[in-house]
């Protein structure tokens, strides 16, 4: 047990070093984290259709959607907003956008037709009927993007060997403890783990924050109906394109997503849905991802090692690197989160990771579902 504890503490410190290094390299631009990010761009940018599936007028929706409307893209841009019910309160936000941006090609699709378990993918299938362009960009409703975003994420599509382009993202918490903990989980644990994987050569990722692809690539995998029953639809979309020999590009652009967790229960439901889906889709990777919770793993290692000096030294190093990672992940000129929340977020995240082994059931909006081995979900009556 002493040897096992020392090994766990050493693994935690080793990962903390790699995570901090990966985040610093990404921030400083000192080294590309994927070999594909330098794909050549088309001298004549193609017209793009942006697909924004919506459900409800969530906090910050107007601000997020305006960040897309204000993109300066020379190739021509169509934005399609999709809702499933004529009573959806998001329609009021869209009506105001159409008034404020009369020069833009904005299309609203209202269609309740269901094509599978996933309401989001059903929305996308309905929206595609109105898509006029062959370059497509999908982005979740709560995503806010910087100027120049559209140029950057579509440029690699000029290379026919590129399947999808995806973006890392940063969580911006709404006021409240639970939102803060949710944002820390994204910024300090999840995205650094993605950058570490990219540094080691992995391409096994795709995020709903942004997926850019060509129409022929989408049709080649069977279109959106191929992922209509998938819980991790974004991950599966990337996986299906890689199966056809296409590359995944991790863009240099970092977008922002709002984190609005109203209670511990809501935070736990979101976290468990995410973690259990990863465990089922990639069981081996999920098991070894325990080390990404470096602080709790180092503490566990010290307990197993019965407080031996070497284990305590490894824990001290992990704490230092964990703080360095936190400040590196925040970036310059950003408000510092309360340091007391870091161990709380890490311990809660590790507890949820352990809970990810308990069952295949997840809470998804107002329904409860069972996740199959292929990532598809079926409702539980």
Question: Which residue ranges make up each domain of the chain?
Answer: 2-27+266-379
* Residues contacting residue 175 through CB under 8 Å, at least 6 positions apart: none
Which is it for the CA torsion 46, 121, 273, 366, positive or negative? Answer: positive
Residues 6 or more apart in contact with residue 369 via CB below 8 angstroms: 117, 231, 361, 362, 363, 377, 378, 379, 380
* Nearest residue to 191 (alpha-carbon basis) of 361, 22, 341, 362: 22
pLDDT of residue 30: 43
pTM of the complete model: 0.88
Report pLDDT for 36. Answer: 44
Q: How far is it, in rounded angstroms, from Cα 156 to Cα 270?
A: 32
Q: Quick one: pLDDT at residue 27? A: 76
Altogether, the residues listed in the chain come to a count of 381
Give the pLDDT score at 332. Answer: 60
At 101, is the secondary structure helix, strand, or coil? coil
Element (H, E) at 26: helix 2-28
pLDDT in tens, the chain (381 residues): 888 989 999 999 999 999 999 998 887 764 444 434 444 445 567 899 999 999 888 888 999 999 999 999 988 899 999 999 999 999 999 999 999 999 999 999 999 999 888 889 999 999 999 999 999 999 999 999 999 999 999 999 999 999 999 999 999 998 899 999 999 999 999 999 999 998 888 888 899 999 999 999 999 999 999 999 888 889 999 999 999 999 999 999 999 999 999 999 999 999 998 898 888 888 888 888 999 999 999 999 999 998 899 999 999 999 999 999 998 887 665 666 678 899 999 999 999 999 988 888 888 777 788 888 777 878 886
CA distances from 142 to 53, 178, 247, 253, 380 (A): 10, 17, 26, 16, 28
- Per-residue tokens: 89: 């309160």
Burial of 58 (C-beta count, 10 Å sphere; 0-12/13-18/19+): middle
- Give the integer Cα–Cα distance in Å for 235 and 307: 41
Q: Are 129 and 110 in contact (CB under 8 A)?
A: no
Tell me the C-alpha to C-alpha distance, in Å, between residue 346 and each of 160, 278, 298, 310, 322: 41, 18, 11, 22, 10
Pair of tokens at residue 127: 């929206």
pLDDT at 381: 67
CA distance 300 to 298: 5
pLDDT of residue 50: 97
To 10 degrees, the CA torsion angle through 263, 264, 266, 267? 120
CA pair distance 319, 242, nearest whole angstrom: 37
Residue 80 has a CB neighbour count (10 Å cut-off) of: 23
CB of 246 closer than 8 Å to CB of 164: yes
* Maximal C-alpha separation, the chain: 68
How far is it, in rounded angstroms, from Cα 119 to Cα 85? 11
């Amino acid at each position: 047990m002493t040897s096992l504890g020392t090994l766990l503490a050493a693994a935690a410190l080793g990962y903390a070093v790699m995570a901090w290094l990966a985040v610093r390299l990404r921030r400083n631009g000192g080294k590309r984290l994927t070999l594909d990010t330098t794909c050549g761009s088309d001298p004549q940018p193609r017209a793009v259709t942006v697909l924004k599936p919506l459900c409800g007028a969530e906090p910050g929706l107007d601000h997020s959607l305006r960040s897309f409307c204000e993109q300066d893209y020379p190739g021509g841009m169509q934005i399609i907003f999709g809702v499933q019910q004529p009573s959806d309160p998001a329609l009021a936000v869209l009506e105001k956008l159409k008034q404020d941006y009369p020069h833009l090609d904005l299309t609203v699709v209202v269609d309740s037709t269901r094509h599978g378990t996933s309401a989001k993918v059903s929305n996308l299938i309905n929206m595609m009927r109105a898509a006029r362009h062959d370059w497509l960009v999908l982005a979740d409703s709560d995503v806010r993007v910087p100027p120049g975003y559209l140029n950057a994420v579509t440029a690699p599509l000029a290379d026919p060997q590129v399947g999808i382009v995806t973006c890392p993202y940063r969580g911006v918490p709404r006021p409240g403890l639970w939102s803060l903990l949710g944002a820390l989980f994204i910024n300090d644990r999840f995205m650094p783990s993605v950058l570490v994987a990219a540094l080691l050569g992995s391409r096994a990722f795709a995020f709903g924050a942004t997926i850019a692809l060509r129409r022929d690539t989408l049709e080649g995998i069977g279109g959106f109906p191929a992922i209509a029953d998938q819980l991790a639809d974004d991950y599966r979309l990337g996986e299906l394109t890689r199966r056809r020999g296409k590359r995944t590009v991790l863009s240099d652009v970092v977008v922002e997503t709002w984190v609005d967790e109203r209670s511990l229960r809501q935070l736990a439901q979101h976290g468990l849905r995410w973690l259990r889906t990863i465990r089922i889709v990639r069981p081996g990777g999920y098991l070894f991802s325990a080390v990404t919770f470096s602080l709790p793993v180092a503490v566990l290692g010290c307990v197993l090692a019965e407080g031996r000096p070497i284990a305590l030294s490894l824990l001290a190093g992990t704490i230092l690197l964990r703080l360095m990672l936190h400040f590196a992940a925040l970036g310059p000129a950003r408000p510092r989160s309360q340091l007391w929340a870091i161990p709380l977020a890490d311990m809660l995240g590790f507890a949820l990771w352990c809970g990810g082994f308990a069952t295949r059931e997840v809470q998804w909006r107002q329904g409860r579902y069972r996740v199959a081995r292929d990532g598809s979900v079926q409702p539980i009556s």
